[in-house]
C-alpha cells in the first residue's frame, strides 16, 4: 500500500510503498500504541528510503484514502 505525501518546503509529491510491517503500524488505531506505531513507521521509512517524515512532509493519503 502506498503512502502519499507532499514535501512541505518544496511542494514536491512523494509516494512511498509501505512494506507489510510499516502498513501494520500505519493502520494502528489503538490509543495506547498509536504514537509508538507512528514513530516506528517513520523510523523504518527513514532507514529504508531516506525520507524523514515528521516536520518535513504533509500526509495526503494512505492507499488512496485521506490521512487524518
Structural domain of residue 51, as residue ranges?
A: 2-66
Q: Does residue 68 have a pLDDT over 80?
A: no
The total number of structural domains in the chain stands at 1
- The model's pLDDT over 20-63, given as tens digits with 9 standing for 90+, comes to 999 999 999 999 999 999 999 999 999 999 999 999 999 999 99
For cell 500500500, the residue is 1
- Contacts of residue 58, Cβ cutoff 8 Å, sequence gap at least 6: 5, 6, 8
pTM: 0.89
Amino acid at each position: 500500500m502506498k503512502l502519499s505525501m507532499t514535501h512541505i518546503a518544496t511542494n514536491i509529491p512523494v509516494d512511498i510503498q509501505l512494506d507489510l510491517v510499516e502498513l501494520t503500524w500505519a493502520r494502528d488505531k489503538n490509543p495506547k500504541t498509536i504514537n509508538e506505531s507512528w514513530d516506528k513507521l517513520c523510523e523504518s521509512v527513514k532507514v529504508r528510503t531516506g525520507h524523514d517524515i515528521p516536520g518535513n512532509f504533509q500526509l495526503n493519503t494512505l492507499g488512496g484514502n485521506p490521512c487524518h
